[in-house]
Structure 1
Amino acid sequence: MSQPPVPFLDLQAQHRQIRDEVFAAWEDICHSCRFAQGPPTQVFEREFAAYCGTQHCVTCNSGTSALHLALRVLDIGPGDEVITVPMTFIATVWAISYVGARPVFVDIDPARRTLDPARLEAAITPRTKAIMPVHLYGMPADMAPIGEIAARHNLSVIEDAAQAHGARYRGRRAGQWSRVACFSFYPGKNLGAYGEGGALTTDDEALASRARRLREHGQSRRYYHEELGYNYRMDSLQAAVLSAKLKRLDAWNAARQAHARRYDTWLAGLPVTRPAFFADTESVWHLYVIECDRRDEVREKLAAAGIETGLHYPVPVHLQQAYAHLGYQAGDFPHSEALARRCLSLPMFAEMTEAQQQRVVAALAEALK
């Protein structure tokens, strides 16, 4: 009898843990009919700000919207430049384009897979207004030198922490290393909603207040609109889910960390590049991404063996058709391009069993022969 597939992510297993709590909260919301930016969103904002160690959390309808709001509240717009990495989900760069600024790319450090501080200063021009490092795959960027360079040039730092809920760098949470940090609560994230959701965190009361105004059509009070705004509100149903999950996030992240250590041990000796561990950094392993030759062939063999995998991300942003107008060429960012060409995301979720991991490793060893 064949074994069931090993899923890339098992959201049903997670849902079973919180089902009763979520449905009870949803029943209360349906009874009150306060669906849009209702009390549960305010509760979650307080909870998530406290969790991240920041003064303020402003929820919104997606991580992309959070990034957009972050750039707006920092008054970044046409003629400005924002430095980020080409190895990221494209929403990082969409937000820069939404405000009319120009994305400027810096290659990644191939070990950490995040913005390489050694390459950063050369990309700064008189038009640079902000640096947007990405905590890719749950691994915080090397924020101390990035922050030092930003301070030297009087630049704002915006953390794209969409994949790094609860991650730590030098003892501080993701979200504590910048003027503004942005999170996604897409369902597959370590802290995911049952739909779309996002948030920005900050210690700056003025930035938080403006972000709240912008997400609600630019109004400071109902029907009084002070500036161009958006409908970026989070609904109460999603906030209730996030509050239920937030209580369990540290335990779920700890399970992912145990899985990552097990993968690291069991994959030793195979012809793959394993993700690195850093003494000053606590990744939350949103994704466990190896690098290998013949990536697509290996992936097909794993699928045939019942192992689901992912690609994060097979085309770096500077080579996307949507950004051809920036004029970048293949070869401009070799480390990002190499990772994109060789990356393969193995199954990773808190509820994963050792038996499932053993099957993944055995199937991978066979596929690599």
Structure 2
Amino acid sequence: MKTIKQMNLGSQGLVIPTIGLGCMGMSKMNGAGVYGKADDKESIATIHRSFDLGGNFLDTADIYGLGENERLVAKAVSGNRDKYIIATKFGVEIDNDGNRTGRINGTKSYMRKAIERSLRNLNTDYIDLYYLHRLDINTPVEETVAAMAELVEEGKVRYIGLSEVGSETIRKAHGVYPLTAVQSEYSLFERQIEMLGILDTLKELGIGLISYSPLGRGFLSGTIKNPNELEEGDWRRNTPRFQLDQFNKNSELLDKIKQVAAEKNITPSQLALAWVIAKGHVPIPGTKRIKYVEENIAAANITLSQENIDLLESIIPLGTDTGDRYANMSGVNL
């Protein structure tokens, strides 16, 4: 196993590689691949290749494939569980029959069901980093975090975090029990949490940021030439950012990023990931193919100068409209 530069995630003691692997796209959602077709054998091989290269930080959630994704991760890490750092999430409610209810549930009673289900799915007796996936507006976050803290005391969870929350929520939660990380979408194309001051709050409190979709859901890779080419069932087809007019506007910005990448003899994806890392955050690009995990991990060794960073941020200045990342934004940054 090779090593990637390690870093402290937050200030509670969790040490992870500077880049992780998002596993969501490896499983089906609602009968189709989240980002097109997925193959379990290839996905497991991708996780193993990531591990070989030092990428042992895996991100999943109970809702991904309604448990399928966690079970896939369990197969991949079998025999080496202690050598991986696994993050998973709860809160997007799944009923006793294994179906999504459409509700966000952050109650203690539901969390207790969810943690036991995730432990079974992952075939483990502990989870390294456990997140509340989305804020339950009907349950005070202080109650949810207090319940999560009990899991730490019991040894079922090592560290806790939240996903897609605002500064006020972060402060309330952190006052009950120290958060290690907040996960949110963050990339050259999505800097809303920076505009809202959420990044400043995390820095002040010593909480790490896990950047999901650091490639703009694949857009920054430059491999998607036309959104109409996305496979049926690929949920990006319904997001504002991937509607043709917005896509074309964003493509003009991407062309300029490609020029910078070409001058550095790296890919646009690597440049985008190196930017997140240079900002002091941990990207978790999702892929289900070995060639892309190799490319992504190589980005951890790319150094960007302040001049490089300034140039990229002048191409896509803070506040640039690149289109909403969800068709319904009501559940994020709460």
Classify the TM-score, shorter chain: 0.3 to 0.5
Query: What TM-score results when the alignment is normalised by the length of structure 1?
Result: 0.31
Larger Rg: 1
